[in-house]
Amino acid sequence: MKKIGILFCLCLLFYNCDSPSSSIKDKKTLERLIDKALNENDEFAYCEVRSHFFSEERLQDFCYYAIKMANKYDYPDAYYDVFRTLTLTENAPIDSLDNKTKCLALYYLLKSKELGSEIGKYDIENIFSDSIPNSTYYLEEMLRE
């Protein structure tokens, strides 16, 4: 009986993994959620949109919405999402990015931390082993280019 219970739990777990964006079934639903996120600062809608684009592996498409959400509403997780999309799209370590893209990615990563997000804590610890600069440092670095 115990084995059946474990098997049932595993089946439920795998079933849930197959449908990460189950609430987005069509383009109209996606557009409605994007509209709610960007025009009403709806963080739940934003998270649904993020899940959809990441599960579809459409990071470049999602980056636009993450930038809008971050800049318009100072949503800390959106700042981190910009960092993720900029670094994951290239599928390379951050040090291999061109200097302007690297500066932009680091600006968004540090800005997410400054606004209270804990999501990027691991990335920050790996990138900045000694001291953590202010996010504006990287904006100034981009201007020097």
Dist CA 145 CA 126 (whole Å): 25
Q: How confident is the model at residue 95 (pLDDT cuts 50, 70, 90)?
A: confident
Q: How many CB atoms lie within 10 A of CB 87?
A: 22
- Of 79, 76, 28, 85, the closest CA to residue 53 belongs to 85
Q: Which residues does 140 contact at the CB level (< 8 Å), separation at least 6?
A: none
pTM of the model: 0.81
pLDDT per residue over 3-24, tens digit each?
333 333 333 333 333 334 446 8
Which of the 8 DSSP states describes residue 57? T
Statement: residue 51 has pLDDT above 90: yes
Count CA atoms within 13 Å of residue 124 on its CB side: 19
pLDDT per residue over 62-94, tens digit each?
999 999 999 999 999 999 999 999 998 767 788
H/E segment holding residue 109: helix 99-114
Among 22-31, 34-43, 58-67, which stretch is predicted with the lowest mean pLDDT?
22-31
Domain spans, the chain = 24-144
In the numeric block, which tokens belong to residue 57?
A: 């592996």
pLDDT per residue over 110-132, tens digit each?
999 999 999 988 999 999 988 99
pLDDT of residue 37: 97
pLDDT of residue 23: 67
Which of the 8 DSSP states describes residue 106? H
Q: Are 107 and 139 in contact (CB under 8 A)?
A: yes
Q: Are 82 and 108 in contact (CB under 8 A)?
A: yes
